[in-house]
Structure 1
Amino acid sequence: MGRRGGSAVLSATVLLLVAGCSSGGGGASTGEGASASATSAAPSTAAGTSASVPPAKGSVTVLRTLTTGLKTPWGVAVLPGGDLLVASRDDGTITRVDATTGKKAELGSVSGVSAAGEGGLLGLALSPDYASDHMVYAYFTSASDNRIVRMRYDEKKPAGERLGAPDTIFKGIPKGYIHNGGRIAFGPDGMLYAGTGESGQRGLAQDKKSLGGKILRMTPEGEPAPGNPFHDSPVYTYGHRNVQGLAWDDKQRLFASEFGQDTWDELNAIKPGGNYGWPDAEGLSKDPAYQNPIAEWHTDDASPSGIAYVDGVIWMAALKGQRLWRIPLDGTKASAAPQAFLTGKYGRLRTVVAAGDGKVWLTTSNTDGRGDPKPGDDRILELKVS
Structure 2
Amino acid sequence: MHRSKSKKALFGTAAAAGAAALVAGLVQSAGATEPNTTEPKDVGAAGAPTAITTISTGWSIPWGTYWMPDGSTALVTERNSFKVFKVTPSGAKTQVGSVPNSQTTGGEGGLMGVAVDPDWASNHYVYFMHTSSDGNRIARMTYDGTSLTGYKAILQGIKKAKYHNGGRLAFGPDGYLYATTGDAQTTSLAQDKNSLNGKILRLTKDGKPAPGNPFNNHIFSLGHRNPQGIAFDAQGRLWEAELGQSSKDELNLIKSGKNYGWPTCEGNCSVSGMTNPKKTWGVAEASPSGIAVVDGAVYMAALRGERLWQIPINAGNENVGTAKAHYVGTYGRLRAVTKVPGSNQLWLSTTNADGNGGEPAGSDKIFRVTIS
Change (3 A) 1:375 1:87: closer
Equivalent residues of 2:53, 2:368 under 8 A apart: yes
CA deviation map 1:166-186 (0-9, x unaligned): 111111111000000000101
1:301-357: per-residue Cα shift (whole Å, max 9, x none)? 001000001121100000000000000012453432110001010000000001132
Q: Which residue identity lines up with residue 26 of structure 2 in the other structure?
A: T
Match of 2:226 in 1: 242
| 8 Å Cα contact 1:327-1:334 kept in structure 2 | no
Task: Give the corresponding residue for 2:56.
Answer: 67
2:26–2:255 contact (8 Å) kept in structure 1 = yes
In the TM superposition, residue 108 of structure 1 has moved relative to its aligned partner by 1.9
Are the counterparts in 2 of residues 139 and 146 from structure 1 also a CA contact under 8 Å?
A: yes
Tell me whether 1:363 sits opposite 2:349 in the alignment: yes
Q: Deviations over 1:96-153 (max 9, x none)?
A: 12222x2221112211001121000000000121111111100000011100111111
2:214 maps to which residue?
A: 229
Counterpart position of 2:18: none
Q: Distance in 1 between matches of 2:116 and 2:277?
A: 29
User: How many Å separate the matches in 2 of 1:146 and 1:27?
Assistant: 20
Amino acid of the residue matched to residue 344 of structure 1? Answer: G
Distance in 2 between residues matched to 1:334 and 1:326, nearest whole Å: 14
Work out the CA distance in 2 between the residues paired with 1:352 and 1:260: 19
Alignment gaps of 5+ in structure 2? 6-24, 29-41
> Hey, what does 1:38 align to over in structure 2?
none
Q: Hey, what's the Cα distance between the residues in 1 that align with 2:328 and 2:322? A: 16
Q: Summarize the alignment of residues 174-213 of structure 1 with structure 2, pairs less than 5 Å apart.
A: 174-213=159-198
SS in 2 for 1:166: strand
* Matched positions, count: 337
Deviation above 6 Å: which 4+ runs of structure 1?
A: none
**Shift of the alpha carbon at 1:56?**
6.0
Query: What residue number does 1:17 align with?
Result: none
1:142 aligns with 2:132: yes
User: Matched residues in 2 for 1:135 and 1:379: separation?
Assistant: 27
Provide the TM-score with structure 2 as the length reference.
0.86
Which of the two has greater helix per residue?
2
Aligned to 1:351: 336
Of stretches 333-342 and 141-150 in structure 1, the one that deviates more from structure 2 is 333-342
1:307 aligns with 2:291: yes
- What do residues 207-253 of structure 1 show as CA deviations (whole Å, max 9, x unaligned)? 1111110000011111110111112x010100100111111111111
Q: Contact between 2:27 and 2:212, CA under 8 Å: does it hold in 1?
A: no
Equivalent position to 2:259, from 264, 275, 281: 275
Q: Which range moved further: 79-88 or 279-288? A: 79-88
Q: Give distance in 2, aligned partners of 1:94 and 1:56.
A: 34
Relative distance call for 1:46 and 1:143 in structure 2 (3 A) is: closer
Partner of 1:99: 89
Deviations 1:69-98 (A, max 9, x none): 111110111122431211010001101122
Amino acid at match of 2:239: F
Gaps of 5+ in 1: 1-23, 30-43, 48-52, 157-161
- Percent sequence identity is 46
* Alignment match, 1:152: 142
Equivalent residue, structure 1, for 2:272: 288
Residue 317 of structure 1 aligns to a residue whose secondary structure is strand
Report the Cα distance in structure 2 between the residues aligned to 1:368 and 1:165, rounded to whole angstroms.
Answer: 28
CA contact (8 A) 2:45 2:296 kept: no
Decide whether the 8 Å contact of 1:225 with 1:234 is kept in 2. yes
Equivalent residue in structure 1 for 2:311, among 300, 310, 327: 327
SS in 2 for 1:379: strand
For 1:46 and 1:335, the matched residues in 2 are separated by 22
Shift in alpha-carbon separation, 1:225–1:180, aligned structure 2, 3 A? same
Equivalent of 1:169, from 146, 151, 154? Answer: 154
Give the TM-score normalised by structure 1: 0.83
Equivalent position amino acid for 1:368 in 2: D
How far apart are the structure 2 equivalents of 1:227 and 1:350? 32
Contact 2:223 2:259 in 1 (8 A): yes
Look up the match of 2:9: none
After superposition, the Cα gap between the structure-2 partners of 1:129 and 1:375, relative to the gap in structure 1 and judged at 3 Å, is: closer
Corresponding residue for 1:218? Answer: 203
Residue in 1 that maps onto 2:26: 45
